[in-house]
Amino acid sequence: MTIEFEIIPRKKKRFTWNELRDNLRELRPQLFPPTAAKMPSFWELDRGIEREVTAEESIGSEGHYRLETDKQYTLFLGTYSNVATYTNEEEWLADYAMNLAPDLRKTLAEQWRSVGFSYDVGIKGIRYDPGLVDFFAVLLSAAQLCDGYIVLKERNPSGIPHGAYLPEEIRNLIE
């Protein structure tokens, strides 16, 4: 099974692997134990070539990344330029963030247009609940770092209705 959610950032600042890892340590200690002999690594995938991302390196505005763990599934993060994907922010949010008030959607569309990109967080090969916990930890961490809204566009096993949510709202829904 594959699960993917979008994140619409409201901050233009790109976060680093180190910031994401530190946030994950707080949200999911089992995925990132402070005393682990080998920390999970973060890899950029570019035209079939994989390169390990350094701790201080920012996540780009267009790229594909995977989190390498010792688990049976793959956690991934993608970044997509609004211009490259021909995204009309207001129309996109009207389709996928119907739970937000129209004035909030308009404000979010303006912020997203200013930022110029979005994130896609997903998990492939998931077959058991601990993987969902790891997935939500990555999703919430990334969304917190960019002050983003998490958008659920498709059916998902979490039972959360389609729409756009702040990280705190998602956290409350899955606890």
Element (H, E) at 143: helix 129-145
State the total domains in the chain: 1
| Lowest mean pLDDT across 93-97, 114-118, 157-161, 163-167 | 157-161
**pLDDT at 129 > cutoff 80:** no
User: Tens digits of per-residue pLDDT, 50-97?
Assistant: 999 998 988 877 889 998 877 777 889 999 998 888 889 999 999 999
User: Tens digits of per-residue pLDDT, 88-117?
Assistant: 999 999 999 999 999 999 999 999 999 999
pTM (2 decimals)?
0.88
**pLDDT at 18 > cutoff 80:** yes
Q: Domain range holding 96?
A: 2-174
pLDDT at 25: 83
